[in-house]
Amino acid sequence: MLVLIPQLLTQAEVAYCRERLEAAPWIDGKATAGQQSAKAKFNLQVPQDSPECRELGELVLRALGRNALFATAALPLKVFPPLFNRYDEGMTFRAHVDNAIRPVPGTGQRIRTDVSSTLFLSPPDSYDGGELVIHDTYGRHEVKPEAGDMVVYPATSLHSVNPVTRGSRWASFFWTQSMVKEDATRALLYDMDMGIIALRRDLPDDHPGVLAMTAAYHNLLRHFVEM
């Protein structure tokens, strides 16, 4: 399930992120790549223990906390602290699958990476190439949204970043352990919740159909949730 979350960050927040990242140190993106991904990854990254990464990561986490669409799509249990990367001219990330388990720095804990997220921080007209490409059973899906928009997709997906041929593409990326492990089940629950939201726009909350659908959704959620 591929979901676009528009304007997760306000334009003021995007501008602040850009300002802080301008002054941040950048290292080889292979620093956080697994053995297979390191062979495919050609980009730069802000060190995850840097003050800039920690501060801006908290900003992104606050934005996630106020976004109902992210909650519906990811059903988050744990969120990995957001990281920040950039692709300058000639940089790319060839097709790969994210590591299934990620240790959370400084905690001794690990999360299962069910959902991947990419939050775009560069206007699409400021660079050429750099599309996020999701490969699934329905083919290739190329995504290049506005700055402040975020894309959520299954971490089980083969995905890549097209080579940047002009400019620079900046983004935040992170993973979520969902309360619902299977993507197909999350997709069904997402569709059902979106349907309930649409019904509630046209019908009163106490309408029998709205009540029945809402009850069914929450009872299904109880059945599938792992905590």
Residues making up the binding site for Fe cation: 96, 98, 159
Q: What is the dihedral of CA 15, 89, 172, 153, to 10 degrees?
A: 130
Determine the 3-state secondary structure of 151 from DSSP. strand
Rounded to a whole number of angstroms, the CA Rg of the chain reads 18
Distance CA 125, CA 107 (A): 39
> Is 131 within 8 Å of 94 (Cβ atoms)?
no
| Binding-site residue ranges for 2-oxoglutarate | 169
Cα separations in angstroms, 33 against 39, 45, 90, 117, 148: 9, 11, 19, 16, 25
Can you name the residues that pair with 150 across neighbouring β-strands? 5, 119
Token pair belonging to 119 = 């939050």
> Is 108 within 8 Å of 97 (Cβ atoms)?
no
| Binding-site residue ranges | 96, 98, 159, 169
- 173's CB contacts (< 8 A; 6+ apart) are 82, 83, 84, 85, 116, 117, 118, 119
Place of tokens 């059973």: 137
